[in-house]
Amino acid sequence: MTAIQGQEDFPHENGEIPKVRIETVGLGMRQARVANLPLEVEDKTLKLTLGAFGETRDLQQEMWPNAYNYRVSNGVRVVSTSLVKNIFSHVVVAGYRTLIAYEV
C-alpha cells in the first residue's frame, strides 16, 4: 500500500533507491453550497469569483424535493471544486454577499 504522507523508497532502474517525501497537495475536492445569490447572476460569474480558491469542476442548481411536485430551484448552487485554499464563509459575488457552506 502506498503512503499518502511521509517518506518511501523509490527504486530506479539503475539500482538507486532514494527516499522520496510524500505530501498531499491542495485541499482536495469539496462540494460547497452557495446561498444568497440571485438566479440572475450567471454561473460563469460565480466560477470566476471562486477561481481564487481552486478549480471549479461542476456547478448545479439545488432543487426542491419531488414532494412539492415541481422541479424548481431553491436558490442554492452546489459547486464541486478542487480547493487550493479554504473558501471564506462569506464571499462577494457580483456585488452580492453570499453564504458559503462546506465540510472542511
Domain boundaries defined on the chain:
26-101
Tens-place pLDDT, residues 27-54: 788 899 999 999 899 999 999 999 999 9
Domain 26-101 -> CATH class: alpha beta
Q: For the residues 61-79, what does the mean pLDDT come to? A: 86
pLDDT on residue 1? 42
Tens-place pLDDT, residues 1-34: 444 567 888 888 898 888 887 766 667 888 999 9
pLDDT on residue 10? 83
Contacts of residue 4, defined as CB under 8 A and 6 or more positions apart, other chains included, come to: 22, 24
Pair 101, 87: CB distance under 8 Å: no
Is the pLDDT at 98 greater than 50? The verdict is yes
Side-chain-side CA neighbours of 1 within 13 Å: the count stands at 3
Q: What is the Cα 35 distance to its own chain's centre?
A: 15
How many angstroms separate the CA atoms of 93 and 15, rounded?
55
pTM score of the predicted model: 0.69
